[in-house]
Structure 1
Amino acid sequence: MAADQWKTAFLQVCLHSDFQPLTELLSQDHQSSGINEASIDWEGVFLTPLFVASLLRLEDQLPQLVAAGADPNVHCFYAGLFCSPLHGAALRGDATVVEALLAAGGDLFAEAEASAVDGEEETLAHTLMGLHALHVLVAKDIYSEEVYRLLMRRGLRLSSCCLQRRGGEIPGLLLPRLLGNQHATEDRLDVLLREEVQLIIRSAGLAHELNEFLEVVSALRRDHDVAYRCARDIDFPIAEPEPESSQSSGRNEEPPTALLFAAQAGRCEAVRLLLYAGADATRSMRRALAVDDRRMMVLQAQAVQLAVLRSDLVMVEQLLFFDISPDLTCSAKVFGSGGPDRDQEPCEEWTGLSLLHLVVLSRSFDLVEPLKQMGCRLEAMAQQHLPDGTVTQAMALTRNVNSHSSRSSL
């Protein structure tokens, strides 16, 4: 019987590290070898050969099984779920096997379904369906950060919804609360949500994914007292704070918000959606800019200033439409070739840097005329402060403002 042959081969691997029987089976015609039948009695459940191989961490044999005809997406009953080998590997916290299964053709978006043992009282956990691998981890109260981050980077989202068998959707972010989790808790998932927001903003399907995320967050804010910071404040930090010595010139700065991250990444659609969701366009972050080969300027910049530094006229227009003043200014510190690390003191400081000053600093002279039309003033003055107490006034442009030969007094 094929199932007995497969089980014997896998036991030889487990007990004696003998791969010969498995190799011989893999060389046979898969149509007669039961390679896609859930017939191997393994740990009290019936599994396919590829499912067993994934549980045994035989990642090198997974491609051979697929080449021999194994389907990496055949579902089996395992751990109270009707699920794929990918779900099983995730439940065991095995990132290496998860990677191998995905490389072998495993479906990242494969859906699992919970099942109840006969005679067991049915709870919410038994009625869940439409569970991708992240949902399964949360539903089973398993927190394996490495596997979570891997699945998120591949495209799964904690914020997406699963289903109930009796009807209705449940946001994945509500599962810890509804199931009384002790390990995969809201506090732990909250840390991962920072990366999820970054991944969504960078994704190809940005508008759809970000809209879904913002809708889920809005519902959580309205209907539930959850621990997720994004439900309390759309401007929650989405990155770890930088070390105090890193480009901070001695100050412990706040990490960027989603809006600042989107502006820095040049994701105009994300900026628009976040602004409509209520994001604060006056928040700021540090931005380092090379002045020349010997000097580095570190600015405290808002979203519109980041857009100017990126020469992103569409984003600038969008932000100014949301009542950002065209007279907005920022400050900056300039450091020598050693940069702002190692507690180096700045060699000069600037205040009152207008959007047009930033145009000159970023050499984005094509933005001069559009910014003038949006209300930016050529006569705006910035102040240069030197260590000896000298203060110098500086206009952004002195003449020929309509050409690339515009002269700067910076």
Structure 2
Amino acid sequence: MNWFLPSRRSLACAQIEGGLQAWKRHGFFDGDPVASAKAVEHFSAPRLPKAMMDGINPSLLAVIWLVTFISGTRAERDQLLPFANVGLGLLRAATEPDSKLAPWEQNIAQRALVELSAFVDASNINLNLHTGEAQRDAVPIDGSNSMACIIAERSYLDNRYGVGGWHMVSQASIEEAGRFYDKLTIRLTKGGETIIWFDLTASKAKWTDEGNIEALRQFQKASSKVVNENKIDVAKKIVLDCLSALNYSTEQHEFNAYLPTKKTVEDLISHAINENLTPEELALLLIDAGFVDHNASLKKFESIFIAANYPTLGERAKDVAQSARAERLERHDKLLTEIFKRAVEKGTLLVPQYGSVGVAMKNALGTLMEPSTLPEKQKVNSKTPRDRDRAMTELINRMKN
């Protein structure tokens, strides 16, 4: 057994939970999906042979649990209908043409289909009324604003076809006979296109312009936060990769020593978002700005070291401290150069202000460049930092070699 992979039992339980969550979002299930999935597992698992559960398709195992639960529990039929519908959905996924079920699994799937279908057909509620594949079968969407409805539609498609299993082709809003619909044409990853209809009539009656605008603002704010976090995470990974390439230690305290202060990091992230910089460019700015703070902290340590060891080492204490600081700055300089090379490979026009690369650029230009992270209103030169960087494109190309 591979201990690093989830067990079939945990996968089966997760699939039941996911199915119930989908039905809860659409208002067809009012229980707790997590607790309900666990209840199905605790009820059904002891009734099945362990050897079978360890060797069967996880989706099919979830179906068997649901069949056992539905046939053995004393819950009301209406309460069990969502479980039956989840079972049918998982059964469809488990028996797709490319599922490669063993013959004995196919037999189990066939028996499960008969039992689940009989249970649903015997009830007075049809859980499959809203397939969305025709206008008359439009999937009802309940949302207090337009953004909530859009998210609900995408969530429905993700649950039905899998995350990444579909792509939007077109979307049309249609008002007809007093009802309001969204008609989505999607392309399935497995091939082919299909149309799904959503009925937003009840939702639209709740919408207000103010509510829609506020929901959009909150959504954009949340999306921006995700983008920001993702960009800084990627930038940090680039720094770690460069440290590894240089055979430097990548322990957390070692990594943080190359970064600037927390406030500077926040400013640089904001600058990177506003200027639409790449993660490589953000990594370059972080390590470039960190060079200044790193040098300042090393000077402070140097003073402390000299003061503490001068009585015993004399002038040699200065030599040792200065040598240690020079070695650390050389390591930082090599890291800055390595990150700059990677940024150049991505076509950057940014240039470090510090380290050997920054000095080389300043000497080549014959003028002192202003740091590219300062707000434009603080600049006295009419050229922006990006304009200055573009003027150095030729010099960057030379440095590639």
- Normalised by the length of structure 1, the TM-score is 0.27
> 1 or 2, which has the higher strand percentage?
1
Task: Give 1 or 2: higher helix fraction.
Answer: 2
Higher relative contact order at CA 8 Å, sep ≥6: structure 1 or structure 2? 2
Q: What TM-score, normalized to structure 2?
A: 0.27
The structure having more radius of gyration, on CA atoms, is 2
